[in-house]
Structure 1
Amino acid sequence: MTSLHVEPSGRARKPLARRRALLGAVVPVALAAGLLGGCASSSSDEPAATGTQTAAAWPSGVTPSATPTDQFTRDADGAVTGITYPGADGETALDLLLGVDPTAKVKGTGKNAFVVGIGGRTADDAKHEFWSLEVDGKQAQVGAGTLKTKDGETITWTLATY
């Protein structure tokens, strides 16, 4: 019996290279904006955010100006409650999420992908938690694996309850 081996097409590789280039250019700006916004509303008695990811967790060729955890929002105890990142023409919200948080947990693939963990925090079914996806402040109408983003959009994941 013969087996068939299929190589990934060049087309499949181009979005990854483009994503890396876009993230390398956009992430430092988004991080700076997020840090400036966060500084304006934080008080000195809040605990400092700490992270376990290092720059080595980023895709090859992407050199962030800070660690990926700077994009996370956290509660008073330092637990991750969300993440925000810029959209990129033609890239899915899921692909971009995995680019900024390679440790994100996903059940299923493609159109059936369901994000269950971000920043090391898994949504707790017992607490009726889930990761909610928004684009420019509006609830997404399709899943992260289907949602094609655009340059200039703001993609936000928030730990929510039902």
Structure 2
Amino acid sequence: MKTLMHTTSSRLLAATTAGLLCAGLVAGCAGDDEAAPEASAPASTEADAGGEETAAGDVTEFSYAGEHGKTALDLLLVHDPDAEVSGEGEMAFVTAIQGRAAEDGEEFWGLYVDGEMAQVGAGALETEDGQEIQWKLEEIE
């Protein structure tokens, strides 16, 4: 009887200790995930991509840093994997960013580099380190 109680107590203690250790690890990992992108992320990570919203919550602008040798389209898809694109490569046309689709025939997502409208499409625009790549939802006039 004494052995059974000792075994049950030992198991209960071991299970409690294991549970506390697991809880501590989970809590510790959750905290690390939140701090890590800011502390160690290079300037071109998703953490640096940003967008502006209207009062209704619709995204109207989205920007990120350029990277040498990568196209504006490649980087857009890194920073917003759910962006919607029609066509491929140099003929790609961005139709939605951050879940906000441009209304067909009324709006379009305009591409800007360092504040100037791009002269080529996103699939053809090779970016450089330090450039600001910006998308603006604009009305067709």
1:143 — aligned with what?
121
Q: What TM-score do you get using the length of structure 2 for normalisation?
A: 0.67
Q: In 2, Cα distance between the equivalents of 1:98 and 1:132?
A: 16
CA apart distance, 1:29: 9.8
| Stretch of structure 1 that moved more, 132-141 or 77-86 | 77-86
Q: In 1, Cα distance between the equivalents of 2:122 and 2:46?
A: 23
CA apart distance, 1:27: 4.1
Q: In 1, Cα distance between the equivalents of 2:100 and 2:71?
A: 21
**Runs (5+) with no aligned partner, structure 2:** 1-40
Which residue of the other structure, out of 74, 84, 89, is the alignment partner of 2:68?
Answer: 89
Which residue of the other structure, out of 94, 99, 102, is the alignment partner of 2:81?
Answer: 102
Q: In 2, Cα distance between the equivalents of 1:146 and 1:134?
A: 13
**Per the alignment, do residues 112 and 29 of structure 1 end up closer, same or farther by CA in structure 2, a change over 3 Å counting?**
closer
Q: In 2, Cα distance between the equivalents of 1:98 and 1:27?
A: 13
State whether residues 102 and 137 of structure 2, in contact with CA within 8 Å, keep that contact through their aligned partners in structure 1. Answer: yes
> Comparing both structures, which one devotes a greater share of its residues to strand?
2
Q: Deviations over 1:23-47 (max 9, x none)?
A: x41146973xxxxxxxxxxxxxxxx
**Per the alignment, do residues 91 and 28 of structure 1 end up closer, same or farther by CA in structure 2, a change over 3 Å counting?**
closer
**Per the alignment, do residues 101 and 28 of structure 1 end up closer, same or farther by CA in structure 2, a change over 3 Å counting?**
closer
Greater C-alpha radius of gyration: 2
State whether residues 44 and 66 of structure 2, in contact with CA within 8 Å, keep that contact through their aligned partners in structure 1. Answer: no
**Per the alignment, do residues 28 and 92 of structure 1 end up closer, same or farther by CA in structure 2, a change over 3 Å counting?**
closer
CA apart distance, 1:77: 1.2
Which residue of the other structure, out of 20, 23, 43, is the alignment partner of 1:26?
Answer: 43
Q: In 1, Cα distance between the equivalents of 2:95 and 2:113?
A: 18
Q: Does 1:154 align with 2:132?
A: yes
SS of the residue corresponding to residue 26 of structure 1 reads coil
Aligned-residue CA RMSD in angstroms?
Answer: 1.8
Identity among equivalent positions (%) equals: 49
1:124 — aligned with what?
103
Q: In 1, Cα distance between the equivalents of 2:98 and 2:107?
A: 15
Q: In 2, Cα distance between the equivalents of 1:89 and 1:28?
A: 14
**Runs (5+) with no aligned partner, structure 1:** 1-23, 32-67
**Number of corresponding residues:** 100
CA apart distance, 1:82: 1.3
> Comparing both structures, which one devotes a greater share of its residues to helix?
2
CA apart distance, 1:76: 1.2
